[in-house]
Structure formats: C-alpha cells, structure tokens
Chains A and B, each alone.
Chain A
Amino acid sequence: MENEKYLNDISEIKNMMNQSSRFISLSGLSGVLAGIYSLVGAWFAYKTIYFDTTTIGNYKNLIISESAVIKLFIIAASVLILSIITGIVLSVRKASKTEDKVWNVSSKRLVINFGIPLATGGFFILFLIEKEILSLVAPLTLIFYGLACVNASKYTLGDVRYLGLTMIFLGLLSTWFLGYGLLFWALGFGVCHILYGSVMYFKYDRN
C-alpha cells in the first residue's frame, strides 16, 4: 500500500518535470504530412528545373531562368507554410485532447530554440542566393534544419534529435554530391520526415 504511494510520487515527479520543461503536444502526424508536402513540392521543383523549356544545362551545371527561380521560390514557400500550419493545427488538436495549453512556457521555449539556428541558416542561405552561390543551398538547408532539430529536441519529444542528426548527415553527404541537391532534399525533408513522423505517431499518438 505504502509502496504504491511512493511509486505514484515518483511518476508524478517525472511527469511534472517533463511537462514543465518539454512541449509534448507535438504530433507525429504533422511530420508525416510535412514529408508528403515536401515530396509533392520536390516533384514540382523537379519538373520546373529539368523540363522547363527555358532551362538549359544538366545536373552539374544548371542554368535556370528567372521565371523558374520565382516558381521554385513559390513552391518552397508553399511547402513551408503548409507544413507550419499543419504542425500548429495538429498540436492544438492533440493539446485539447489532453486539456493542455498550446501556447505556454514550454512551447515558447521550443519555438525560440528551434528558430535560432533555423533563422541563422535562413539568412545565411539568402545571402548565398544573392551572391549566386546556389550549389550550397540544398546541403545548407539540410544542415541548418538538422541543427535546429537537435537544438529543439531538448525542449520537446526526444526523437526529434535523431531526425536532426539524420538531416545533418544527409546535408554533409550532399555537399560531397553537389548537383544532386534536390534528390537529397526530397530524401531529407520528404522521406525522413515521413519515417520519423510515423515512428513518433505510433509511439505517442495512437492511444
């Protein structure tokens, strides 16, 4: 009888430590959906780059017209915005199921710590685009996103750490295979998101 009380105490301590320091309403499903959007986006990007009649060149030396760049930018922005909206909507749903608040100290902390490496990378990459160093864009987006995930993993479900490490690895690998950026991009943002998202979904959300 006494023992049960001590066990309850321990689980209450664990529970409170986790709840107060980590944002646990993140849904694995949002990862899966973000992955699907990325794959669809990558498909459109592929068609824009390699089947656009105004495009000349090959895998190694791409020459893209301005209209294609704008198209690519719109594709990338739509994937990003859709993913963020899905993430927010699914988190709100998951939080309301467990009667937690979505916008609290732990989610703020998560957003800030995820945002710092991501914004750094974002500006860095924008400067590179301005200087027309396009070959490094794909590897660097993967690397900075990976670093952001590793940093954010301390403030949410720990599995995000492994997603981040995989992204960093893919980013470094794609630096070696310059010119195949879109392929690595689809692999990282598409396949990895779906993979890790479903692992997290089956681990935390299904019940």
Chain B
Amino acid sequence: MKTIIQNINKAFDHRIRLGIMSILMVNESADFNMLKELLGVTDGNLASHTKALEAENYIQIEKQFIGKKPNTKYSASKDGKKAFSAHIDALEKLISKT
C-alpha cells in the first residue's frame, strides 16, 4: 500500500494541473486559449499552474507569434508522459484496492 501511495505524484494533485496533463496526453500540443476554455480558469490561474508543471519538466512551452499576436504552445514532455501514466496507474490501483 505504501509503495502505491509513493507513486501518487504531488505535482498532479490539483484539478487544474490534472486537467492540463490529461489534455496534453491526447493532443500533440495545446495553446493557452484552448487550455483556458477547456478548463474554465482565469489567465493568471492557468499561468501559475503551467509554470509549476514546467518547473518539474513535465511540459514544454513554446512561444511564437501568429501574425502580431503572441501564442504560447504547450506540449507534454517525455518525462511528463511517463510520470502521468504512473500517476494514473497508481490512482487505479488505489481504487481497486477497496
């Protein structure tokens, strides 16, 4: 039981960070507005959560310009995908235990 709980990743222990990772697992990339719409959060809130995930090296951020508008693209890194899969496995095991 203890080892399973160790696999529960603190970085994903928040609804919004969980949402960001879920979206990036099934999409090659997502831009800021797409994440904002899907998750229903404010700009500042989303920015702080993406920063937290970036600090863990779980997501990659790519800034570019589309015309004159800045556009930020997010994608899951290899480490991020691995860590998130392990997190899902741990969640499933914890649920099936009871």
User: Interface on A for B, CB 8 Å cutoff?
Assistant: 2-3, 6-7, 9-10, 12-17, 19-21, 101, 104-105
Do residues A9 and B34 form an inter-chain contact, with CB atoms below 8 A?
Answer: no
- Which residue in chain B gives the minimum CB-CB distance to A14? B22
Do residues A20 and B95 form an inter-chain contact, with CB atoms below 8 A?
Answer: no
Do residues A9 and B27 form an inter-chain contact, with CB atoms below 8 A?
Answer: no
CA A88 to CA B14, docked complex, whole Å: 36
Do residues A12 and B19 form an inter-chain contact, with CB atoms below 8 A?
Answer: yes
CA A72 to CA B84, docked complex, whole Å: 55
Among B18, B22, B23, B27, residue most surrounded by chain A Cβ atoms (within 10 Å): B22
CA A10 to CA B39, docked complex, whole Å: 15
The minimal Cβ–Cβ distance linking B27 to chain A, given in whole angstroms, is 6
User: Interface on B for A, CB 8 Å cutoff?
Assistant: 15, 18-19, 22-23, 25-27, 30, 34, 37-39, 88, 91-92, 94-95, 98
CA A117 to CA B25, docked complex, whole Å: 27
Known A3-B98, A9-B18; judge A20-B27 contact (CB<8 A). Answer: yes
CA A3 to CA B91, docked complex, whole Å: 9
CA A12 to CA B91, docked complex, whole Å: 12
Do residues A19 and B38 form an inter-chain contact, with CB atoms below 8 A?
Answer: yes
Known A13-B88, A19-B38, A101-B37; judge A7-B95 contact (CB<8 A). Answer: yes
Do residues B91 and A20 form an inter-chain contact, with CB atoms below 8 A?
Answer: no
Q: Say what secondary structure dominates the interface of chain B.
A: helix
Q: Say what secondary structure dominates the interface of chain A.
A: helix
A-chain residues with CB within 8 Å of residue B27 when the two chains form the complex: 20-21, 105
Q: How many A-B residue pairs have CB under 8 A?
A: 49
Do residues A16 and B98 form an inter-chain contact, with CB atoms below 8 A?
Answer: no
B-chain residues with CB within 8 Å of residue A7 when the two chains form the complex: 95
Do residues B38 and A20 form an inter-chain contact, with CB atoms below 8 A?
Answer: yes
CA A110 to CA B30, docked complex, whole Å: 16
Q: B34 touches which one: A3, A12, A15, A105 (CB < 8 A)?
A: A105
Do residues A20 and B88 form an inter-chain contact, with CB atoms below 8 A?
Answer: no
The minimal Cβ–Cβ distance linking B19 to chain A, given in whole angstroms, is 5
B-chain residues with CB within 8 Å of residue A21 when the two chains form the complex: 26-27
A-chain residues with CB within 8 Å of residue B23 when the two chains form the complex: 16-17, 20
The minimal Cβ–Cβ distance linking B12 to chain A, given in whole angstroms, is 8
- Can you sample 25 A-B contacts with CB below 8 Å? A3-B94, A3-B98, A6-B94, A9-B18, A9-B91, A10-B92, A12-B15, A12-B18, A13-B18, A13-B22, A13-B88, A15-B22, A16-B18, A16-B19, A16-B23, A16-B39, A17-B25, A20-B22, A20-B23, A20-B27, A20-B30, A101-B37, A104-B34, A104-B37, A105-B27
